[in-house]
Every structure is written in structure tokens, then in C-alpha cells.
Amino acid sequence: MTRVSPPDLQSFLTDLDMSVHAANDWGTPANYIPELACIAPDQFAISVALPDGQVLSAGCHDQPFSIQSVSKVFTLACVLGRIGDELWDRVGREPSGTSFDSIVLLEREQGRPRNPFINAGALVTTDALLDGRMPADALAEVLGFIRTAAGDTNIHIDGDVATSEKVTGHRNTALAYYLASHKNLHNPPNSTLETYFHQCAIAMNTDQLARAGTVLARFQNAPRLLSSERARRINALMMTCGHYDGSGDFAFRVGLPGKSGVGGGILIIAPGKASIAVWSPGLNNYGNSKVGTEAAHRLAQFTGWSVFAG
């Protein structure tokens, strides 16, 4: 079924919200960022933005959460808009098969990260966004992009989450200095890290995130922030790399491009059909939302939405 009526979809989402609450294992919130570690795992929200402008939701869809690595999609869009294909001189486009914060491949591949969604690649992308400016200017650009995409100016950075990650972000600090040693950071590592931690600390609810994703779903009435070619390519990277070493499993189970974050959010794009945001803060072994992934799987089964189906 590729056509699903909004009332049927709404009742599916309402039932889904009720049934996920029967879960006895919600996964574990990101424990290396103290501000996220203390969030109760048994929470769930889902929003589906449709081409006619409706947003259907269930669960705590108006509660802001930390979008973390979902922000990397928007930073990438901004950077491709600024420098285009030049980015690919500094970052690859291949899945890594390693965890999001791994340093192993970076050493083997002389400081050129595998893709823009693992932390090393996201640091290079953020460095390209910074481009000699003050962190506040780069952050204003990515926040402006997200607000315009979502049609909502009430989206902000949670300073406590950014500070919390800065204090404990030893791995990201190591990655940044390692990249700098390979001359793949053009700004002082601390400026790039500062920008990166704040970008990850953007807080949104699932309604806002689903609306922001409409620029990637290429809806007729979505703000024109991206060319269709660029949206297609970002979607391809989300499919192959958006869930780190869980990307193959997500493609297999859900069949749609998705980008996860350790705050428990996932943005999922069904091109031309829907932009979906799910949130549940407990993570699976890959660092992706446990219940969120299961909900995405069930939504894909119900709707039949898949980039692998006609």
C-alpha cells in the first residue's frame, strides 16, 4: 500500500503510541553526555508531515529533545550550498561500518573521514561551515536554515546540553585534534568543537523536525532551500550512512533514508510522500533510538513507503 488516508494513518499512529508503551526494554539514554543521561527512557513521540501541509502526530510530539546528530543533515545542506562538491575533497561518501565516534578508520585513511555523518566527518563539515567566521555566525546559519525549513522561529540551542557535552566530549576533542594533525581542519580545533557541540544541542520537537524534513522530501510547498539534486544526494547519504554501523539494518527494516541522533531522535524521509520524525531517548547498541527504530519499522510496514518499492 503506497497510498494511505490521513485518518487511517492518524489512528495507526495513536495505536502505535499506545503499543510502544508496553515495551519492557526502552534502551539506554546516551550516558556520555550527562544532560542526556538523566532523561527518562520511557518516552515516545512521532510526527508525520504530509505533502498537503498536515502534520499527524502521537505521543509527546510537542516536547523538545536534543536533535544531536540529526543536525548533521542540516549542516551538510548548508555546507553544500556554500562550497558545493569541494566538500568531498575533505570527506568521503562511504559507510564506515564503525561506531559514530570511532577513530580507527581516520588513522588508516590519513585523516579523511569516511562520510559526513560519523563524528569525524561531521567535524570537518562543521569546520567548512565555520570557514573563518565566529562560531555564533555559523550557528546562526544552520539555525536559520532549520527555522526556515520548519517554518518556525521558535527553535533554539540548549546551552546546558552544549556545555555538558563540551565538558565530557574527550573523544570528539581527540578526533578534532587528529583531523588538525592531518590539516583537515581549517579553523582552531576548539572553535570547530564549540560550533559542533552547539549545533548538536539544537532542541526541537517531532512536529518541528518532521516539518524541517519536508525540504528533503521535496514537497511542492516546502521552502526552496535545496535543489532536488542536492536533496536526492543527501537522502542517499542518509540511507547509506545515517545510522552508522546500523545503517544496513535500518535500510533493510525501514527502506527509507534516516538520520539518527544520540538524543533519541530520527528523521526519516519518504521522498514525495512524507517527512517523519520519531523520538524515544533510549538507544540500542548502535547508538540509535531503540523504540524509535522499531516504530519506524512498523510505520514502513503499515504504509508500504519504501524507496525500494514502486
Residues annotated as catalytic (active site), given as ranges? 69, 72, 196, 244, 262
Give Cα 290 to chain centroid, integer Å. 15
Beta bridge partners of 47: 57, 277
Interface residue with ligand GLN among 43, 102, 126, 172 (CB under 6 A) is 172
Place of cell 550516558: 31
CB of 149 to ligand GLN, least distance (A): 19
* Pair 239, 260: CB distance under 8 Å: no
Please say which residue, 172 or 280, places its beta carbon nearer to ligand GLN. 172
CB of 118 to ligand GLN, least distance (A): 9
Closest residue by beta carbon to ligand GLN: 69
Please say which residue, 56 or 238, places its beta carbon nearer to ligand GLN. 238
Calpha distance 94→73 (Å, rounded): 15
Query: What is the side-by-side order of every strand in the sheet holding 258-260?
Result: 55-59, 45-49, 274-279, 265-270, 258-260
Please say which residue, 169 or 271, places its beta carbon nearer to ligand GLN. 169
Q: Which residues in 254-283 contact ligand GLN (CB under 6 A)?
A: 261-262
CB of 206 to ligand GLN, least distance (A): 16
Please say which residue, 4 or 118, places its beta carbon nearer to ligand GLN. 118
- Nine-digit cell at 192? 570547530
Residue 83: burial class (beta carbons within 10 Å; 0-12, 13-18, 19+): middle
CB of 52 to ligand GLN, least distance (A): 31
165 is a contact residue toward ligand GLN (CB under 6 A): yes
287 is a contact residue toward ligand GLN (CB under 6 A): yes
Site string for ligand GLN, 96-135 (x = CB under 6 A): ----xx-----------------x----------------
CB of 253 to ligand GLN, least distance (A): 19
Residue 184 DSSP one-character state = -
Please say which residue, 263 or 271, places its beta carbon nearer to ligand GLN. 263
Q: Return all residues near 113 (Cβ < 8 A) that are at least 6 apart.
A: 91, 92, 105, 106, 120, 121, 123, 124, 179, 184
293 is a contact residue toward ligand GLN (CB under 6 A): no
Q: Which residues in 63-92 contact ligand GLN (CB under 6 A)?
A: 68-69
Alpha helices in 131-188 (DSSP H): 135-150, 159-168, 170-181
Beta bridge partners of 269: 275
**Which residues lie near ligand GLN (CB under 6 A)?**
68-69, 100-101, 119, 165, 172, 200, 261-262, 287
